[in-house]
Amino acid sequence: MPSATQAEIRRLFAESARARDVFLEDNAEALERTIDLVVEALAAGRKILLFGNGGSAADAQHIAAELVGRFARERRALPALALTTDTSALTAIANDYGYEQVFARQVQALGEGGDVALAISTSGRSPSVLRAVEACRERGVRTVGLTGGDGGPLASMVEVCLRVSVSTHSARIQETHILAGHVICELVDRRLFEARV
């Protein structure tokens, strides 16, 4: 008979699997649209900007690294930039303008029309992410939001919303977000490079 700890482990795995399954049912079309946007941007020589806080910052960096490095095949480096990594810029902007502006100011400096931003906030309520999405819209940067629960204000601000609707638990949402990120990377690779391999 499984121990109480094993039973809890199984419950948590099942909870994560359910979040992913419901996400797929709710977001298959939105995920396809996201892949289309990323492929169109990269094929046109544009770049991908990614940002979020805490675990979402780590997800932004993870996805950017998969694009710039490689995911599953040898191919050219793809231009992707996590706006969470430059500590001098982050601390200077936070000090001079307030933390809410840490990503928006970088979007204003680096974002160009036709770029795509992946804005990640498990609640959809992070002020720094929301201000950055506003800056994206001003700069003509296409926007995709990765969020959870009811999506918060982020859901209605972005062009495409990928929402883990079944959970408000950050861990379950982030587990699903990184799966979505991996799916994006793999299918972008196939769309851009499969015919050439």
CATH of the domain at 123: 3.40.50.10490
Report the distance separating Cα 95 and Cα 71, nearest Å: 36
What pLDDT digit, counting tens, does each position of 103-117 carry?
999 999 999 999 999
Which tokens in the block code for residue 101? 């502006």
| Helices 4-43 and 170-193: angle between axes, nearest 10 degrees | 40
State the sign of the Cα–Cα–Cα–Cα dihedral 5, 8, 12, 13: positive
Name the residue among 26, 35, 51 with its Cα closest to residue 164: 26
pLDDT at 197: 40
pLDDT, residue 195, reads 59
Give the integer Cα–Cα distance in Å for 61 and 80: 9
pLDDT per residue rounded down to tens, the chain (197 residues) = 889 999 999 999 999 999 999 999 999 999 999 999 999 999 999 999 999 999 999 999 999 999 999 998 899 999 999 999 999 999 999 999 999 999 999 999 999 999 999 999 999 999 999 999 999 999 999 999 999 999 999 999 999 999 999 999 999 999 999 999 999 999 999 999 985 44
The residue segments making up the domain with residue 54 are 4-196
Does the global pTM surpass 0.85?
A: yes
Question: Considering its fold, how many domains does the chain have in total?
Answer: 1
Q: Give the pLDDT score at 72.
A: 87
